[in-house]
Amino acid sequence: MSEAQKLRIGEHVPMLVCSDVQASIRFYRDILEFDVADRMDDVGLTGWASLTRGRNRIMLTSASYLKAPEKNADGSLDSDVIHYFHCEDVVGIRTYLVNAGVPVSNFYVRFYGKKEIEFSDPDGRLLIFGEDTDEEPTPE
């Protein structure tokens, strides 16, 4: 057994640095229906929280003790991380998001057999929801 195989590494939980943790809690809780598992509203500038939804888990942290993400002029982030959620009924999810007032893309059918939508969280992080499909890919 290699030294790396001996390491006991648990689950990977993304910690998202937020300009306003409370706004992000509302987005992930009220729009994407995550549950707030734990929170500390009095740490940093705007707090900290741990949220769960099924097997998904994220942490939200205030930018006061970790560097805040820098936004582009259009509000997006320069990041090489995309948060991808495998889902069922992407059509229903898109309808739900549109009705909730979330700006969301049209559908994209990718060459790898996924029908996807894209939208951003309050800090401009790209979220993609995709489900398996047999549909023909959207022309590029």
Equal fold, 1-64 vs 77-140: no
The more confident residue out of 46 and 21 is 21
pLDDT of residue 69: 63
Average pLDDT over residues 101-125: 92
**Position 107 pLDDT exceeds 90:** yes
Q: What is the pLDDT of residues 90-100, one digit of tens each?
A: 999 999 999 99
pLDDT of residue 137: 92
**Position 65 pLDDT exceeds 60:** no
For the chain, the structural domain boundaries read 1-64, 77-140
**How many Å apart are CA 86 and CA 30, to the nearest integer?**
19
What's the CATH class of domain 1-64?
alpha beta
Q: How many CB atoms lie within 10 A of CB 63?
A: 17
**How many Å apart are CA 138 and CA 115, to the nearest integer?**
9
Q: Give CATH for domain 77-140.
A: 3.30.720.110
